[in-house]
């Protein structure tokens, strides 16, 4: 019974979110000027850089783990 009441309360809160105005002025301005593509490109470049960094760290850690497992 508690789960049902909790679910209904959550559904009521999310219904209020849909009633909000979706007009984001900054995004509309960037989109109309064509600068939104610059923002998206910067975000993509940052994410690709972070992923490359994480994969390089993972590769180094696997190498260190392999070296340590041979010593034991």
For residues 36 and 30, the answer to whether their CB atoms sit within 8 Å is yes
Q: What is the mean pLDDT of residues 60-67?
A: 94
- The pLDDT score that the predictor gives to residue 44 is 96
pTM above 0.85, yes or no: no
Q: Which domain holds residue 52?
A: 2-71
How many folded domains does the chain comprise? 1
- pLDDT > 90 in the chain, percent: 39
Reply yes or no on whether the pLDDT at 17 is more than 70.
no
């Amino acid at each position: 019974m508690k789960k049902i009441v909790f679910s209904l309360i959550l559904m009521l809160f999310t219904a209020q979110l849909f009633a909000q105005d979706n007009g984001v002025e900054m995004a509309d301005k960037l989109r109309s000027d064509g600068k939104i593509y610059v923002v998206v490109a910067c975000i993509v470049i940052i994410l690709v850089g972070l992923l490359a960094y994480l994969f390089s760290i993972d590769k180094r850690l696997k190498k260190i783990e392999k070296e340590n497992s041979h010593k034991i």
